[in-house]
Amino acid sequence: MVDDSISKLCSDYLRNRYAGLKASHARELVAAFFGYKSHAALLTEKVYSIEYLHDAAIMIPAADMIQERKHSLKGLPDSVPSSIDLAYDLADFLVAEQLFTGDVWHCSDLGEYMIEEYLPEHLNPDLDLELEDVVAQTNAFFDEIEYDDADVEDHPNSVSITVLGTYGGYSDADKEFAGDTIDMEIWVQLRRCAGRIAFDEPEIMVEGTVNRDYLREQDHSTPHQPAPAT
C-alpha cells in the first residue's frame, strides 16, 4: 500500500463521518494527524513513508498540529470535532483497519507521559536490575522512585526524552551508612518509523550514582580541632 492510499482511506473516512467536510480539508487534517504541515509534505516524505505504518510499535497522534491546521482552514463544518477527538477517531480507524497494530499514546506532553505513565509501567519493575551495580555500593534497600523532570528533543530520525529522578530507600541499621539515595538519569529514544508520529519500540538506558551529599554534611558537622601547641 502506498502513501496516498493510506491518506486517502483516512480522508474518505473523515468525509463519510463528518457531514460537509471538503476533500481538500480532509486531506490536510489527515496530513496534520501524521505530523506534517501540509498534504503535499506528507506525500513527498520518502525516508519515513507512512506505508511503513504497519511496522511501527508506537504511534503518538499530532493533535497539536491538527489544532494548528484547523485554525488555518476556512469553512470547516461544525460537524468536525475537537482536535483531540479527531486524533482519537483517526487512530481508532487505523487500528480497526489493521493499518496500525501497535500502541497508541494519546498525550499532549510527551515528557509528562513518560513520567506518569510509561516509566512507572515499563522501568519501575526492572529498576533494581538496571542499577544493580550502583545498589551494590550501598547498604540500603530501595523502594521509592521519583521522576522529577523530563526534557524532550525532536531530531530528524528520532525523538529523545531525558528524565531525571531519584531512587530512595532505607539503610541497614546494623551496617555502616553508605548512602540511601541514587540519583538517576534515564534516556528514552523513539526511533522514527513512519510519518512523524510512528516509532519503533522505545529504547531505555539508565545510569545512576549514589548521592554522597551526606559526606559533605558530616564534614560540616564535625567541629574543627585546633592544631596542638608546640
Chain mean pLDDT for the chain = 91
pLDDT of 70 over the 70 cut: yes
Q: In terms of domains, do 58 and 141 share one?
A: no
> So what's the pLDDT on residue 101?
96
Residue 143 domain flag: yes
Q: In terms of domains, do 81 and 127 share one?
A: no
Residue 229 domain flag: no
Residue 90 domain flag: yes
Instruction: Name 13's Cβ contacts closer than 8 Å, sequence gap at least 6.
Output: 90, 93
Rounded to an integer, the average pLDDT of 14-31 is: 97
Decide: 144 and 167 in contact? Cβ < 8 Å.
yes
Distance CA 206, CA 200 (A): 19
Instruction: Name 20's Cβ contacts closer than 8 Å, sequence gap at least 6.
Output: 77, 79
Q: In terms of domains, do 136 and 156 share one?
A: yes
Q: In terms of domains, do 95 and 126 share one?
A: no
Question: Which CATH number goes with the domain that contains 143?
Answer: 3.10.450
- Amino acid letter, residue 195: G
Residue 158 domain flag: yes
> So what's the pLDDT on residue 179?
86
Q: In terms of domains, do 72 and 162 share one?
A: no
> So what's the pLDDT on residue 120?
96
Question: Which of the four pLDDT bands, split at 50, 70 and 90, describes residue 3?
Answer: very low
> So what's the pLDDT on residue 99?
95
Residue that finishes a domain, picked among 104, 124, 150: 104
pLDDT of 26 over the 70 cut: yes
Residue 230 domain flag: no
Rounded to an integer, the average pLDDT of 44-50 is: 93
Q: What angle do CA 65, 66, 68 make, to 5 degrees?
A: 60
Q: How many domains does the chain have?
A: 2
Q: In terms of domains, do 80 and 143 share one?
A: no
> So what's the pLDDT on residue 121?
95
Q: In terms of domains, do 150 and 93 share one?
A: no
Predicted structure pTM score:
0.85
Rounded to an integer, the average pLDDT of 19-26 is: 97
> So what's the pLDDT on residue 1?
41
Q: In terms of domains, do 67 and 166 share one?
A: no
Residue 77 domain flag: yes
Residue 185 domain flag: yes
Q: Is 15 exposed, middle or buried (0-12, 13-18, 19+ CB in 10 A)?
A: middle
Q: Name the pairing type of β-strands 140-154 and 158-171.
A: antiparallel
Q: In terms of domains, do 72 and 116 share one?
A: no
Residue 224 domain flag: no
- Summarised one tens digit per residue, pLDDT across range 183-229 is 999 999 999 999 999 999 999 999 999 998 877 765 555 555 555 55
What is the 8-class DSSP label of residue 116? I
Residue that finishes a domain, picked among 36, 71, 104: 104
- Summarised one tens digit per residue, pLDDT across range 114-168 is 999 999 999 999 999 999 999 999 988 999 999 999 999 999 999 999 999 999 9
Q: In terms of domains, do 96 and 122 share one?
A: no
- For 7, the domain range is 3-104
> So what's the pLDDT on residue 226?
54
> So what's the pLDDT on residue 227?
52
Q: In terms of domains, do 184 and 119 share one?
A: yes
Distance CA 39, CA 187 (A): 33
How far, in Å, are 11, 12, 14, 39, 225 from residue 33 at the CA level?
11, 14, 12, 10, 69
